[in-house]
Amino acid sequence: MALHKPYIDIPGTTIFDAEQSRKGYWLNQFCFSLMKAENRARFKANERAYLDEWPMTEEQKQAVLARDLNRCIAAGGNIYFLARIGATDGKSFQQMAGSMTGMSEEEYRDMMVAGGRSIEGNRYLGEDGNAQPQHQPQGSGAAKGGRA
3-state secondary structure of 33: helix
Contact between 81 and another protein per CB under 8 A? yes
Among 66, 80, 127, 140, binds another protein (CB under 8 A): 80
CA distances from 124 to 41, 110, 112 (A): 42, 25, 21
CB 140 within 8 A of CB 104: yes
Please report, as a single letter, which amino acid is at residue 135: H
Q: What is the CA 80 to chain-centroid distance, rounded? A: 10
Contact between 140 and another protein per CB under 8 A? no
Among 18, 38, 58, 143, binds another protein (CB under 8 A): 18
Binding site for another protein (CB under 8 A): 6-7, 10-18, 21, 25, 28-29, 31-32, 34-37, 40, 69-70, 73, 78-81, 83-84, 86-88, 90, 92-94, 96-98, 100-102, 108, 111-113, 115-119, 122-124, 131-133, 135-138
